[in-house]
Structure formats: C-alpha cells, structure tokens
Amino acid sequence: MKYLCLAYEAEETFNAMSRSEWDALRKETLAYVEALQQSGHLILTNALQSARTAATLRVRNGKLSVTDGPFAETKEQLGGFFLINARDLNEAIQVASKWPSARLGNIEVRPVEETLRVERRYG
C-alpha cells in the first residue's frame, strides 16, 4: 500500500542551524533516501520551498480568490514529502520515524487512495 509522509518543519529551526549542522542533516537525509530506494520503499520524495513562496486559492461561487502564503498561520509548515510503499500503517510509521527531520518537526503518515471513492469522499 502507498503512504504519503508529510514533513512539517519550523523554518526558524532550520534557519538557525550552523552550516555544519545543516550539512550533517542534509547528508543524513540523502543517505536515508538512498536506503529507502534500495529497500524498495521509496516511490518519490521532494522538498518544498518556503511557505512564504506559496499561494493559497479558493473558488467560491465561480470567483477565484488568491492569498499569499499558506492558508493557516502556524509555526510549522509543510517542508516536503515522501511517498512510500509499506505493508501496513505500522510499517509506514516505522519507515517515517527514521526520516532525519522527524527529530525537528512532525511527520504525518497518511494512506493514499488509489482511486476516488464512489460512495463519498471520506469513508
């Protein structure tokens, strides 16, 4: 089964890192990405730019409304994601728990719907 793992991070935590701290975390992350690829767990991963570069949109009554940045004001932002294969939620949690930035933020692990449900959106 596929699981989307969403990495939430506090931008100021990463900005406060020294160059050597960042280099060590980056190296550890890239090594874990390689390990996930070799184990067959990893499907795709990408980092996201700062939430300050985002736009949030809504369409209501046919009208488009766009605001700068994320919709919710929060200290943490979605910093990136990784899509994995896992037997079940427990294995997905174990895989996600080893993601290096989990020590600095939060990882949300969510099963992927392979198709859009017929009966209703959320079961």
| Residue 14 DSSP class | H
How confident is the model at residue 73, as a pLDDT?
Answer: 66
Which residues pair with residue 44 across a beta bridge? 83
3-state secondary structure of 17: coil
Whether this model's pTM surpasses 0.85:
yes
How confident is the model at residue 55, as a pLDDT?
Answer: 86
Torsion 110-115-120-123 (CA) sign: negative
pLDDT truncated to tens, each residue of the chain (123 aa)?
999 999 999 989 999 999 999 999 999 999 999 999 999 999 999 999 988 888 888 899 999 999 887 666 667 889 999 999 999 999 999 999 999 999 999 999 999 998 888 888 776
Dist. CA 66–CA 56, nearest whole Å: 6
Task: Output the 3-class SS for 18-30.
Answer: CHHHHHHHHHHHH
How confident is the model at residue 121, as a pLDDT?
Answer: 79
Dist. CA 39–CA 94, nearest whole Å: 13
Instruction: Identify the structural domains of the chain with CATH numbers, from first to last.
Output: 2-111 (3.30.70.1060)
